[in-house]
Structure 1
C-alpha cells in the first residue's frame, strides 16, 4: 500500500512541477510552438522535396531575410510596449533611396551609412513624439510616418537608383564558408545576427529592457513605480527607426539598387513574424529570439512556395492562417493567466 501511495505522490509531484513550470514560463509557450512549427515545416519540406534541408537553402534562409530580421528586432521593442510601427517598410525604402542617391553623387560610405541610421532614428522619434506628447494612437502616428517616408522616397527619385559602391555590394556578395557546399554566411547575415544578440541583451539584462516589459504589462503601474515611461517609449520607437535605417542598408546591398516602392507590405510581414514568434500584440510579453524564429518560419514558407513553383500569394495566405492561429493562442494564454492570477 505504501508503494502505491509513493507512486501516486511521485506522479502528483511531477504533474505539479510541470504545472508550476508552465505557469512561470507561460510567455515561452508561443515561442516553443513557433519552434515546433519551424521544425515540422523543415522536416515536411525535406520529406516532400528531398533536397530542402541543405546548407545552400539554409544559408539562403538567413541571406534572403536579413533585412526582415533586423526590422523584426526593432518591431519587438515597440510591440512589447503595447505600440505598433507601420512605418518601417517606408523608412527602409526612404533611407535606401537617399543612401543610393548620395552614393551615386560620390558621397563616402562612411558618411552615407550614419546618415541613413540617423534619418531612421529621426523618423522613429517623430512617431514616438506623436504618440507620447500629442496623444496620437500608435497606429495613426506610424501610418502618418509611413506616408511621409514613402513620399520622401519619391522625392529623392521616381526611378530606381543603381548602387555600384563596392563597399555596399561587399556586404551581400561576400561568402564566408568552411568548404564546398557547406553552410555560408554573408556580412548582411552576420549583421542581422549581431542585431538579434544586441536586442536580446538589452531586453533581458538592462533596466531599460525591464522597463519595456513593465510598460507593456501595465503602463499605469509603471508610472506609479516611478519608471521613465515617456523616455522608454520614445527610445523604443527610435530603436525601431534605427533598425529600419539599417535594414535600408542591408536591403540596398541585397538588391544592388534602390526603388521608392521597395518595402511595400514589409511592415505587415514584420509584424506577422514578431507575433508568430510569440510577442503579444497587447505588449508586455515576448522575446527577440522568438521574433527571429518567426522570421525563419516566414522565410521557410516563402522558400517552400518557391520550390513548389506556385504563385507567391500562397505565402500571404499561409502566413495569414498562422497569424490567426497564434493570435488565438495568445488570447487563450492571456485569459488563462488572468484566471490564475485571481
Structure 2
C-alpha cells in the first residue's frame, strides 16, 4: 500500500500594511492630521494666488498676534469638550472681564489687583457653570447659556460704552515685539503659546488630565473606577472660565480698550476651532495642539479673505463647511471604533 500525499496550498495570513496599522492605532488623530493638511493647503493656495506675498515672516507672525485671545479660549474649551460638555459663556465672560479690567484701571486700581480680579472673575463664572452641571443636573448647554447671559449682563452693568486703557503695563503686552530674523512675537503671543504648552502637559502627563479623558470617554465607567468625576468636571469649567478671563486681558491689550459688546459669537469660533482641530464633541478624544491648529486654520481663512477683499460672510460659509466636514469625519471614526467592539 502506497501512501499518497496531497499537496494543499497553505494559506498565509497577510500582514497589514504600515499605513493600515498606523490608521488602526491612531484613528483618533486623523481629524487633527486632516486639520494640519488643510492648513498646509491653505498656505499653499494663498501663496500661489497672491504670487508669493502670503507666506512671509510678518504675515505668519501676525497670525498668532491677531488670534492669541481665540487660542486661549480654545485651550479652555478643549478641557470642557473633552469631558463631553460645552461652554457657551466664554465670549461674554471675555467681554465682562475686559470691561471690568478697563474700568478698574480707569479708576486708578493697580495692575497687580486688576489682573488677578479679571482672572478670578472669569474662573468664578466657570465654577458656577460647573456646579450647575454637576450638582444640579443642568445640561451643559443650558448652564453655559445662563453663564453667557450672566457675563454679558455684568459687562453692561460695568459700562455701556467703551473704556480706553492707558495703563502702560497692559499696553506693553501688545506693543512690545521681540524680533528675530524677520519674525516677531509679542507677550500676548507668548502667553497664548504658554497656555497651550501647560494644557498639553496637564492633559497628557498628569492624573487630572487622564481623568478628563476617562470622564469624556465613559463617565459611568470613570465613576466605577473610583475617579473624582464631579471635581474634574467642575475643574474643567473653572479652567475654561479662567481662560476666558485671560483672553479678556489679551483682547483688552490688543484693542487698547474694554467694550461690553466684545466677543459676541466668539464662543462659536472657539468651538469651531476645537472641533476642526480634532476634538470629538462627544468627549474623550482630542488634543489641545489640534485646537491650536484649528485656531490657525480659522485665522488663515480670515486673513486670506481679508487679502482678497471679499465679504466677511464668506468666513462663516467656509468655516461652517469645514465644521460640517469634520463632524462627519468624527462620526465615521466613532462608528468605526464602535464596530470593533
Relative to the length of structure 2, the TM-score reads 0.95
Find the aligned partners of 2:313 and 2:167 in 1 and give their Cα distance: 34
By how many angstroms is 1:281 displaced? 0.3
C-alpha distance after superposition, 1:260-295 (max 9, x if no partner): 000000000000000000000000000000000000
2:340 counterpart SS class:
helix
Find the aligned partners of 1:263 and 1:335 in 2 and give their Cα distance: 35
1:102 to 95, 104, 109: 104
By how many angstroms is 1:54 displaced? 0.5
Query: After the TM superposition, which residues 255-274 of structure 1 pair with which residues of structure 2 at under 5 Å, given as runs?
Result: 255-274=255-274
Find the aligned partners of 2:238 and 2:207 in 1 and give their Cα distance: 17
Query: After the TM superposition, which residues 170-189 of structure 1 pair with which residues of structure 2 at under 5 Å, given as runs?
Result: 170-179=172-181, 182-189=182-189
By how many angstroms is 1:25 displaced? 1.1
Match of 2:5 in 1: none
Match of 2:171 in 1: 169
Match of 1:36 in 2: 37
By how many angstroms is 1:332 displaced? 0.5
Match of 1:301 in 2: 301
Match of 1:335 in 2: 335
Find the aligned partners of 1:191 and 1:157 in 2 and give their Cα distance: 27
Over the aligned positions, Cα root-mean-square deviation in angstroms equals: 1.4
Query: After the TM superposition, which residues 23-102 of structure 1 pair with which residues of structure 2 at under 5 Å, given as runs?
Result: 23-50=24-51, 51-102=53-104
Match of 1:142 in 2: 144
1:280 counterpart SS class:
coil
Match of 2:3 in 1: none
2:243 counterpart SS class:
helix
By how many angstroms is 1:311 displaced? 1.1
C-alpha distance after superposition, 1:90-115 (max 9, x if no partner): 00000001000000011111110100
Find the aligned partners of 1:313 and 1:60 in 2 and give their Cα distance: 22
Say if 2:220 is the partner of 1:220: yes
**Runs of 5+ unmatched residues, structure 1:** none
Find the aligned partners of 2:186 and 2:314 in 1 and give their Cα distance: 28
C-alpha distance after superposition, 1:10-38 (max 9, x if no partner): 9x4351x4323212211111000000000
Find the aligned partners of 2:56 and 2:157 in 1 and give their Cα distance: 43
Match of 1:153 in 2: 155
Match of 1:310 in 2: 310
Say if 2:246 is the partner of 1:249: no
Find the aligned partners of 2:229 and 2:316 in 1 and give their Cα distance: 36
By how many angstroms is 1:9 displaced? 7.9
Cα pair distance change 1:9/1:168, threshold 3 Å: farther
Relative to the length of structure 1, the TM-score reads 0.95
Find the aligned partners of 1:49 and 1:18 in 2 and give their Cα distance: 35
Find the aligned partners of 1:110 and 1:185 in 2 and give their Cα distance: 24
**Runs of 5+ unmatched residues, structure 2:** 1-8
Find the aligned partners of 1:227 and 1:21 in 2 and give their Cα distance: 31
Match of 1:122 in 2: 124
Find the aligned partners of 1:190 and 1:249 in 2 and give their Cα distance: 13
Q: Aligned residue pairs: how many?
A: 331
2:88 counterpart SS class:
coil
1:65 counterpart SS class:
helix
1:286 counterpart SS class:
coil
Moved over 6 A (4+): none
Find the aligned partners of 2:126 and 2:63 in 1 and give their Cα distance: 28
